[in-house]
Structure formats: C-alpha cells, structure tokens
Structure 1
Amino acid sequence: MPSPTRSKPAPSAGVDTPEYERWRRGYGVIRHSDLTCAQVRSLAARLVRRGLQPDEASVYRALAALDRLTSAGLWLVAHMTYARRVHAGGDPLERADFKAHPEGHTGGALNMVPAYAAYLALNRLTGTTRSWLMGQGHCAAAVEALNVLTDNLHPEQRARYRGPRGWSQLVSDFHSQQQDAHGRPAAPLGSQITAHTAGAVLDGAYPGSAELQYVHMPLPGEALVAFLSDGALEAQPGYDQAPRWWHPEDCGLVMPVVVANGQRLDRRVDLGTRGGLERFERHLVHRGFEPIRFDGRDPAAYVCTLEWMERTLAERSRQASAQVRLPFGIAETRKGFGFFPDGEDPDLPLPGNPSIDARARELFQRQVAPLWVSPSELDVAVRRLAETGRPERDHPLAHRDPARPVLPVLPPCRDPLAPPLAAVDHFFTALTAANPGLRPRVANLEDVAGRRLPQMVAALQYRAPDPDPPRESPTGRIITTGHAEAALAACLANQAGLNLVLSYEAAGPRMFGLLHQALRFTRQRREAGRPARWLGLAVVACAHTWESSRQGQAHQDTSLAEGLLTEGQDVARVLFPADYNSTLAVLPEIYRERGRITGLVVPERQRPTVFDASEADVLARQGALVVDEDVGGPGEPLLLIASGAYQLSESIRACERLRETGTPFRLVYLQAPGRFRQARDAWEAPFCATEFERERLFPHRMQRRVAVTHLRPEVFRGHLHPLFPDPAHSRVLGYGNRGGTLNEAGLLFANGCSWGHILLACAAALETAPEVWLSAPEREAVGGHGDPTTITRGLPAA
C-alpha cells in the first residue's frame, strides 16, 4: 500500500532485463505489487550510481535470490513447528516424521521470515553489516531458520545444523525439551532468541524491551534495523519518545519497523483494524516520526523501505538544526502469511495434529509444497546473497567491547556528616570527564539528578530537543522521564559507553522486568562462552524506603534490591554503602567490571561518616567489615549484623548499651549481602565468599545472632541462611511493610528496627531479660504499650 507520507517513486528508465522479469514474477507465495516493482527499479539504479553494485541486473539477481531464500525460510519454519525431520528433496513426510506434540509461535515467526531475510539481503546489496534486534523474541524460529540456511551461525550451531542433515536436527531440536547431564537444555536452540542465536543482542521476551532500547543503541557511523512488535507497542508506553532522544551527534542510524499482523498471541490488536492503523500513524506523526506503510509479505518491499529509511535519516542528519523526524516502517501483513491462513490458533494454524490426523497431514503437505526450493536453486541463491564472505552475525552491537575506562581518584570525605549520594555525583562526573571517548548516559527517573547531583547536571546536561540552556541541550547525556522502563532502557542499550541509573527505590518494581531480561541474556552469553564485554552499570536507588516520608508508603518499597538479590551474583549484585566514603570506594570497581549490573541503595540525606578511606576500601573488597567488637566480658558473645545505612546507625547505638552492661558482642557491617550467600552454581561460586572468609567475619563460635537489614527480613534470612547456623537463637529485623508519613526514626520504629527493638531481639537470642539493657519506659515503647518517642527521640532512660 502506498504510504500516506511518501509519494510513489518514478521507475528508472531502461528496457526490462531478463533478470528483472525473473524477479518480477515472484516465487511460490511471494508476489510483487506495482508499487514495489517501481521502488525496486529506483533502488537498482541508485545502487549502481553509488557504486555499490556493478549493474542493475546484479540487483535483480540478488532480489530473486532473496525470494527463494524467503520461501525456503517459510518452508523450514513450518517444519520446525510440526516435523521431526525434513526431506530436502521435497518428498512428502510420513506420519512418523511429525512431532507428537507440535509447538511454536508459527504465525508470528512466518511473518518475520521476509523481514529478517530482507535485512540480510540489504547488507549484501550495500556491502554494509547493520545491526539488528527483534522485539518478538518468540518468533525466534524465523531467525534461526534463515541463519541455518545461510550458514550465519556460531560454532556450536554450525556443528549441529549445517546442511540438509542439520536441518532435520534443527526441526527435531526445536521445542524438544531435551536436557544435558547438568539439567540444561541439550540443544543450542530455544523457543525464544538465545545467546546461541547468531547476532542476537537481546532475547525480546520482555514486551517493550526492544521498543524502548533501540534508539539508544548504535553509535555514530553505525546503523540498526529494529523489528518491533505491534502488540508490544500497544502494551508498552514510552516507545514514542524515541525522536526526543535521537540526535545525529551521538547516535547511529535507526530503522524501526513494526510488523503489523493484527494479532498478539490469540487476540486482535488495534493495529489489526483500518481505523486502528490510521490512529497509530497519526500518533506517530504527532510524536515526531514519519510513518511509511509497505507490503510486509514481500521481502523486496522490506529492502526498499529499509534503504529509504536509512538514506532519508542520513540526509536529514546532515541538515539537522532541530529535532529530526524519524522514519518508522509499518509492514502490513496477515498473521502466518505463507502457510495455512484460516486456523483459529496462529501459533498452531493447522486444524489438527499431523502425527495423528490424516487430514492435517495432507493439509501440511499441500501448504508447504509451494514454499519448497530445490537444493540446487537454494544453494545458488544463498551463495549469491553471501558473496561478501562476511558473517552477518558479527555486527557492531553483537561485539561491544569498549576501552577500559580511566578511573578517577577522588579524595575521601573527612567531614563528620555528608550525603552518600554526593559521592556518586562527584565520581561519575569525574569519570565521564576522564573518558570523552565513552558515550555517557544517565537514566534520570523523575529528575533525581536535579535534586541531589548538581555537578553531574552542570557537566552532562538534560537531553531536550528544544533546550533551555545552560542545564539543557539537544545532546545532553541525562535522559529524564517519568517512565521508569524508558529511563532504564537508555542505559541498558548504551553498551558502548558509561551508564548510571538514578531512581527512587519504590520505582524498582517498574524497572525490574527489564533488568531481569537483560541479566538473563547476560548469563546466557556467559554460559555460551561469549561473555558480555560492556562496562559495568550502576543502578542507584536513592530517596529510599527509610528516607521517604512525603509520599507515604507509596514510596516505601524494598523490592528492587530484593529482586536483584535473586539474580546470579556473577551478573548482578546489591550493595548498601553506609556513608560517603564507602559509596565512593565501591564505584571504581563497578566501572572496571564487564557484563555486571550493580544495584546501589544509597542515602541521599546527611549521614555520619563511619568509615575512613582505608576501611571503606577493605569493605569494598570484602563486602563486610567488623565495625565494633568487645568480647572481653563473661558469657557467650552476641554477633550483630547490620546491612543498610540507617540500620548501621541503630546497631551502633544498641552496641553502646551492650558495652555499658559488659555484654560481649561483635558488630559486622554487611555491605554486599549476596557475596555471603551459598553459591547456587559454578558460575556464581567465584563471586561468593569462601568458607574461610565467612568464618573470619562471622565466626561459628558466635551462634547467637541478630541481624537488622534494609530489606524485608524473610528475604534476607532466606538468601543468607549460611549466616544463621542456629535459627532458634537468631533474629532478623527489617522492613515489615509498615510505614506512612514518618521520619527515619519513625519508620525504623514502625518496622521494629530501632535500637530499642534490636536490644529486644538480642534478649531473645541470648535468652535473657530485656531489662538488662532497656528501662521500663523503653520496654513499654518497644512492646507496643508506651510512647514511641522514648526510643525515636533518644530520651534518657527514666
């Protein structure tokens, strides 16, 4: 269909050649509209003029090869769902050749075949390897099938799937659910995009991940084709901010294309209606895009559209003085085009199971017959499209490996009070200044930076298409938005640079899905033997639970740190620096690491400077440090464990009472709780403390233990069960979902984490009376019968 935003191009002059006529006739189910034919003629002439092709006939031969590759891809995808083997010669399959339990997202995968095939062909026609990503991770069969047919594979897949015999192995492995001896999937193939998929940079399983990230990914001089999901665009806000963030000075070319097949899973989406599509186009125009519709059933239409989008954006970039209107492709198609079209289930379109239903078996044979390409013809087509001899899997985004950054050395804080968040401000500002070749991005959710990080705002500026200097600039590095996932996406996507995420802690649940998707794929890459090389990323949760009173319990939630604690310690960790110096000490290692996300829960208000520079360095290395100890008194010593800035202050105060009464104790500050968990697999083990390290800090002889944590106590105890060898004589205090418009002391009291409650827990652990440390009014307060201010205001004991 002609685009409402682009006029029909004129065909090139000249006599139709046999090569053109052969392509124009199409192949199998692939047909070329008059509009696409005119666009192809213009494309061929342009490629010759630019010196990218020797003659127009070469272009038509490549596009004819593309038709055959697309048809073979459709054929192979259909077999991946239903068959246990293929007959490369086109012979009908027998009953035993079909899977007993067919599985696959067949309709969506079939729609992705012409899209990905066209991407490969465009690279061949222009001699440039662009990057790609796909928001429809469940359509992995399309990418896997075409990669196998073109031998665009990683070694583990090439060894298993190459050639016609390998094709049978591919369809057999798809959804086979077979495991190796360690319980992992036995095949280097998944139902979603995986780290085994050649060229994959994310799995696309989380709706909106690709749609939010693509605009931030390529560097200047690079180009990215982003295949987006119509269902994800309908479900995920924030994608339409892309024109606001894109600027040619620090961004590469992006070509977003939505595959508008009208369905998400088994329901119709708004883009499946004429009115819905027109509303979507109007919305895109309003948000700064230039939509262009094209025939999503025709791979040549994809090639022409992608080439036009890239060329148009490049031309506009050279002339840009304000925000550039981004081309946005809309591929109109029908769910499952190329195979049986009338099934009620787009994932399994046939009306029956071919392994037990003769009618379904005959229908499968009839549907795949027009898609089959003879092995000799397919071999010619693949060789023609692979003439560059360049593996398309090795595109720029797939091999991010930025230079090791220069790490600044900043002086420690010697003031008795300082806001720990200021250390983040000072360090990241200095880090970006010392590394001008690494593109910085700051995800600034609801302007956390503007309130607490003045140096960073002055140096990096807010990104705004219509700026108000000096704090704003079209090329500002600070991405400010109220949409949590859109802010986070800017940093997850910027794998070639330096990244910092700033958020208030209660927004964590809105970000965790996207974080989990990134961490899952990062772990897969490590297990596949191709670990991620992007620089470490800090996710800073400030305005945190114990400091948030203005919004009440709406901003009191510890779920982000708890969620990150569930991830593998090799790809994610959570740190609780207690003061300025301990915050400053952990930052260099974060940006020295590769392929690891660090969650930092950092107070933004003034906190006592507990650690000097030397102690902070030891704490950063070890993850825990003995803060205070007095074991000279009689009786069994008590081990106190504090994790969190406010929890440490309360524990220090409780220790004063212990010391006054001669109770032996040790206080350990636990900054990196995940380091002291029991490793869950061999990948995590090197990042966890050894038994010797645990024993040195948490000696087994100290069986009676009280911990007070920033987190919910059940989560803390569960993850760190090795630290509580005697549960009957251990107590864990933490956030108990109690709160409201209270100050820090009030929140600590409400959740049973004040110094008074800590002493009450000590009494229970030691099986002694609390009056040893607490006066009668204090006991009444912590017992819920007295005045809380006896504890929260630190009134002298009566």
Structure 2
Amino acid sequence: IANGRRIEQRTELGTVEGLEGFCQHLRHCGFDPVSFDGRDPAAFVCALWQMELRLGHRVAELHSGILHYPLPMPYAIAVTKKGFGFYGAGSNAAHNLPLPANPHHDEAARALFNQHAAGLWVAPDELLPVCAQFRHGRAERALERDHPLALRQPAALQLPELHYHGQDCSPMSALDRFFVDLVQANPHLRPRVGNPDELASNRLEGVLHALKHRVCVPESKLEAVDGAIITVLNEEAVVSACLANQGGLNLVASYEAFCVKMLGAVRQTLIFARQQKEVGRPAGWLGWPLVATSHTWENGKNQQSHQDTSFCEALLGEMSDMVRVLFPADHNSLLALLPAVYQARGQLACIVSPKRERPFQFDQQQAEQLARDGAILLDQHEGPDPVLLIASGAYQLSEMRRAAVRLSEKKTAWRLIYLQEPGRFREPRDHWEAPALTPAAIRNELFPEQYPRRVLLTHMRPEVARGHLWPILGEARCNRVLGYRNRGGTLDGAGMLFANQATWAHVLQAVAEVLGIPAQKLLSREERAALAGQGKPECLR
C-alpha cells in the first residue's frame, strides 16, 4: 500500500520516480510488480485477477522451456494516499486522529467527517443488489476459523531409533543424527531448516549433506534448487519460513546471541496457538525446536556482541504449555528430549545447547527421567544440614560437580540437582499452564523443605532465574543464584565463568555464605585472593 505512511521513506515512495525505482528494485529481486489505483475497490479485485493470470503464464512458460526457476512472483502496489476518503488525508494528521474533536459531541467535527467521507458513500439501494451477487458464494465458503490452513493436523510421526552412548561429544550431534533419521522416516512431511548462519559451525553437518541449501543456481553438492535449508543472514526470515511450514518437520539453529531477532515472529505464533487452545480448537501442527547454540559461555571470538542469554529468558516468560525452555547438558540428555518435542502439537521448544564437546553426564535411564521430570537428583554426600546445589546448563553442571568434590573433601554435606527445564518448576499462571508443570510430589522429592540452604548456578541471568524459580529457591536469606552478569569479551569458557562470578569457586563462596561459615573452610588463600580480584584466576582452572 503505497500511501506515504511514516514507516516508509515518504520522500521517495511518495513520488512517481520513487515508485518506479521501487518497482525496478522488486524486479531485480525476482518479483513481477503490478501497480494500480489504490483508491478504487474494484481495482484491487482486478489486480488480484491480473496477478493470477501472470503467474499462470509464467508456469506455462516454465513448462515450455522459455523460463527457468525461479519464476517472477507477482507483487501488487496500491497507489493511494494515507487516510484517503477522510478529513486530513495525505497530511501528517492522517497518521493519528485527524478530526479536531470527537464527532459524537462536536457538530463541526461531525460535518467535516461527513463532508470528506461522502466520496466513499454508496447508497443502500445501490449496494444491496451488489451484495446479493456474492451472497450465494459466501454461503458455501468456509469460515476463516474452518480454513484448512487453520486446521493443520499432520499425520502422527514415525520416530527413528534413538542412539544413546556414553562418549564425550558435542550434544548437537544428537540432534544432527535424529533430524536426518526423522526426515527419512517421514517422507510425507516436508522438512524445512532455518539457518541464519553456518550449519557446519553449529555441528549440523549431517543435516547439511542430507537436505542441502535452497538456491536458485546450485554451485556445489551442498546446494539444490529444491533444498530444504533456508539460509539467509536474517533470523526473522528463516524462523518465519519454518513457522509457515505447519504441515511439515522443522528445525531452526542459530547463535544464541542472535536468536533474539526471532522473538517477534515466534511470540505471535505462540499467542495465536494459545488463543486457539483457550477456545477449544488447539493448533495441530507438529512441534519443533528453536536451537540456541554457539551460546554465551562458549562464544568469545567476537567479544560480548556474541554473548547474550536474552532469548531463553524471554521465552521463559511465555506460557510453559506453549513453549518449553530446555538446557540439555550432554548428548544423551538432548537426544531424550527430541521425541516429545517433535510429537507435541501446537508447541515449540527452545533448546539451549553447547556445540563444543562436553563430557558424558547421563546414561539413557537418567536422560529419559530428566526429559520426563525436568530435573533429576544426580548425587549426594550424606551428612547433617546439607546444602542443595542446583545446576542449569552444561557448563554450569561441570562447575557444580567440581564444587561438590571440594565439599566432600571438606566433609560438608550436599545434594546435586540438575535442572534441565526451569519452566516446569514455576508457579502456574492459569489452569492451562498447570498441567505442563512437574507434579508436586516429584518437586517436593527433588527440593525437600528440610534442605533450605540452596545455591543455583544458571546459564541465564541470575535475576531472571530467581524470579521464575522462587517456588524452589525458598527464603532469600538462605539461597544464592549465580549466572550471567552481563560480563564478557574475548574469553574462553573458563574466562567467561570467572568474569561472571560463576565458577566452582564462586559456588563454594556462596555455599559458605548460606551455611554461615568462613570461606577459608572451603577455599584456599590463593583461591580466595583470585575471587577477590587480588590474585591470579589461573589457579581456579
């Protein structure tokens, strides 16, 4: 709609030359522009008809060999002015409420409205016969809510075999193999992969070889005209390509720091799916994961611009029955999540996964229990008044394990919980969200009241985690939360943890605080000096 609105460059698109330049730009981008009078309702109908004819001609030319893929896509431009048919049309006033007063109360404003809207008026005796021409067709047309696009119900999935193992590796390798096998097992479901960066860099080489980049002119064996991988340096574009593929299988993987650009489109989908659920017509499309990898704690090559935990934090604020926020720590824990993620209907999942090699943490039974319950008791050291150690995130679990070893050496009791799905342990916000949470019996077993002293080490910002997880953290004076403190730079993993006061040693410092004991009981003089910024942090590596 070329109406000179403020969100476009009016100095260009508000002129004939600007519109012609826009049409040339569209042609260069593979479109077939059609301009028409945007002040005439009949012109819209004619433009739509013309677009259909043009596209039909292009398909015929393709089949006859005159044209080759891609075909020019019709693009209609309605030329008009902002607020056409109303007082203030074409002026800055049209961008807000142009009338000088409320016409309900002000006679002059009412006269202005009637005067300028008169050009749009069609008398009822003239309009009724026209409406009658469409009435029969409308009676046969389904309501928008009953349109096939709103009622997508893809067939149930055939799940591939799950290949658990006990080796150290990149957790992304589990997703890479599973998705390729899933596509092969379900040839009736169109796969689509959203890729705003490098699949190989994010450890999805198998997906890349099997599905290929979608291009107009293939230049290598990793590209194809009918490739299933949508690659463009625009996160909103690639996620929208997958959100639109509601009859198929989807996967989006991006650097965590840049997943934030997807939030607007993702949130609109979640809101609409929730509204469908609330009126008793739940969305039927198959669930899929938004994978935030190359994440904050392992992405130091481009400084702090590539270190941001906002994506998972924002999605944790959405309803837990619509989107799951997951922090698998190794290959098996990520693999165990995938069947439920892809079998879900009308639900997305945010998976925050390392791409670097991580140590083996969970066997098959533990991984599947973790996927089912959202958290698991990993280990404990018996004794009086144990401190509850809670880790959420792959690097955070490794730090917690090291802290636990020191606590055992110092004869201090502890229990270690891995929290993979924080949203399962929040306070439910309505009766639709409540069933998505972990049952009270399991929550009380994992976080018993007799262990009030708790330290949480999270992948996210501590304030965000504390706000969502207050039901399992207990009294503020008895808990500490450590995590990303907006500190970063060109640092390795250990450097990132130290800069954000999130190392195993910082955990022990927090344990000393909640237990009310001196830090020197748990940390050496050299380690305490490093934490205080007066010693060398290398001693903590």
TM-score interval, smaller chain:
over 0.9
Which shifted more, 349-358 or 363-372?
363-372
Between the aligned partners of 1:692 and 1:379, the Cα distance in structure 2 is 65
SS at match of 1:553: helix
SS at match of 1:263: coil
What amino acid is the match of 2:54? T
- Flag the 1:434–1:376 CA change in 2: closer, same or farther, 3 A: farther
- Determine whether 1:283 maps to 2:34: no
State the match for 1:542 in structure 2.
293
Which has the larger Rg? 1
Between the aligned partners of 1:468 and 1:603, the Cα distance in structure 2 is 31
**Structure 2 counterparts to residues 652-731 of structure 1, below 5 A:** 652-731=401-480
- Determine whether 1:412 maps to 2:164: yes
Q: 2:242 touches 2:251 (CA, 8 Å); kept in 1? A: yes
Between the aligned partners of 2:463 and 2:433, the Cα distance in structure 1 is 22
SS at match of 2:239: helix
Between the aligned partners of 2:74 and 2:143, the Cα distance in structure 1 is 24
Between the aligned partners of 2:457 and 2:396, the Cα distance in structure 1 is 6
**Structure 2 counterparts to residues 185-584 of structure 1, below 5 A:** 259-264=1-6, 268=10, 270-318=12-60, 319=62, 321-342=68-89, 344-346=92-94, 347-368=96-117, 371-373=120-122, 378-388=127-137, 389-393=140-144, 394-415=146-167, 417-449=168-200, 452-584=203-335
Q: 1:263 touches 1:269 (CA, 8 Å); kept in 2? A: no
Which shifted more, 752-761 or 304-313?
304-313
Deviations 1:295-346 (CA, angstroms, capped at 9, x unpaired) = 1122222222212222322342351533211111111112222333546422
- Flag the 1:426–1:651 CA change in 2: closer, same or farther, 3 A: same
TM-score using structure 2 length: 0.94
State the match for 2:341 in structure 1.
590
* Identity across matched positions, percent: 50
Q: CA deviation at 1:500?
A: 0.7
- Flag the 1:524–1:392 CA change in 2: closer, same or farther, 3 A: closer
SS at match of 2:136: coil
Between the aligned partners of 1:386 and 1:438, the Cα distance in structure 2 is 37
Q: CA deviation at 1:537?
A: 2.3
Q: CA deviation at 1:534?
A: 1.5
Q: CA deviation at 1:352?
A: 2.5
Deviations 1:229-277 (CA, angstroms, capped at 9, x unpaired) = xxxxxxxxxxxxxxxxxxxxxxxxxxxxxx1111137994642222321
Deviations 1:460-514 (CA, angstroms, capped at 9, x unpaired) = 0001101123110011101111112112111111111111111001102222222
Deviations 1:655-680 (CA, angstroms, capped at 9, x unpaired) = 11112222111110000001101111
What amino acid is the match of 1:281? C
- Flag the 1:574–1:270 CA change in 2: closer, same or farther, 3 A: farther
* CA RMSD, 1 decimal: 1.9
Q: CA deviation at 1:717?
A: 0.4
SS at match of 1:502: strand
What amino acid is the match of 1:496? G
Between the aligned partners of 2:129 and 2:380, the Cα distance in structure 1 is 77
What amino acid is the match of 2:86? F
Between the aligned partners of 2:216 and 2:170, the Cα distance in structure 1 is 33
Q: 1:449 touches 1:502 (CA, 8 Å); kept in 2? A: no
Between the aligned partners of 1:551 and 1:579, the Cα distance in structure 2 is 25
State the match for 2:518 in structure 1.
769
Between the aligned partners of 2:80 and 2:280, the Cα distance in structure 1 is 38
SS at match of 1:386: helix
SS at match of 1:693: helix
State the match for 1:747 in structure 2.
496
SS at match of 2:258: helix
State the match for 2:388 in structure 1.
639
What amino acid is the match of 1:617? E
Q: 2:85 touches 2:119 (CA, 8 Å); kept in 1? A: no
Which shifted more, 286-295 or 314-323?
314-323
Between the aligned partners of 1:430 and 1:769, the Cα distance in structure 2 is 54
Deviations 1:719-760 (CA, angstroms, capped at 9, x unpaired) = 111112111010000011111111111111111111111111
Q: CA deviation at 1:378?
A: 4.3
SS at match of 2:252: strand
Deviations 1:188-238 (CA, angstroms, capped at 9, x unpaired) = xxxxxxxxxxxxxxxxxxxxxxxxxxxxxxxxxxxxxxxxxxxxxxxxxxx
State the match for 2:536 in structure 1.
787
Which shifted more, 575-584 or 262-271?
262-271
SS at match of 1:428: helix
Q: CA deviation at 1:450?
A: 5.5
What amino acid is the match of 2:19? L
What amino acid is the match of 2:392? S
Q: Which runs of 4+ in 1 moved over 6 A?
A: none
- Matched pairs, number: 531
State the match for 1:254 in structure 2.
none
Between the aligned partners of 1:265 and 1:750, the Cα distance in structure 2 is 41
What amino acid is the match of 2:132? R
1:736 to 457, 461, 485: 485
Q: 2:202 touches 2:294 (CA, 8 Å); kept in 1? A: no
- Determine whether 1:615 maps to 2:366: yes
Between the aligned partners of 2:115 and 2:234, the Cα distance in structure 1 is 49
Q: CA deviation at 1:423?
A: 0.8
Q: CA deviation at 1:367?
A: 4.3
TM-score using structure 1 length: 0.64
Which shifted more, 781-790 or 666-675?
781-790
Q: 1:447 touches 1:481 (CA, 8 Å); kept in 2? A: no
Deviations 1:82-105 (CA, angstroms, capped at 9, x unpaired) = xxxxxxxxxxxxxxxxxxxxxxxx
- Determine whether 1:758 maps to 2:517: no
Q: CA deviation at 1:392?
A: 4.9
Question: Tell me, which stretches of 5 or more residues in structure 1 are unaligned?
Answer: 1-258, 793-798
Q: 1:642 touches 1:708 (CA, 8 Å); kept in 2? A: yes
- Flag the 1:484–1:657 CA change in 2: closer, same or farther, 3 A: same
What amino acid is the match of 2:529? E
Q: CA deviation at 1:438?
A: 1.2
Q: 1:266 touches 1:345 (CA, 8 Å); kept in 2? A: no
Question: Tell me, which stretches of 5 or more residues in structure 2 are unaligned?
Answer: none
SS at match of 2:529: helix
- Flag the 1:269–1:583 CA change in 2: closer, same or farther, 3 A: farther
Between the aligned partners of 2:34 and 2:190, the Cα distance in structure 1 is 31
Between the aligned partners of 2:334 and 2:460, the Cα distance in structure 1 is 18
Q: 1:448 touches 1:504 (CA, 8 Å); kept in 2? A: no
Q: CA deviation at 1:584?
A: 0.4
Between the aligned partners of 1:404 and 1:738, the Cα distance in structure 2 is 45
Q: CA deviation at 1:449?
A: 4.1
**Structure 2 counterparts to residues 150-161 of structure 1, below 5 A:** none
- Flag the 1:378–1:554 CA change in 2: closer, same or farther, 3 A: same
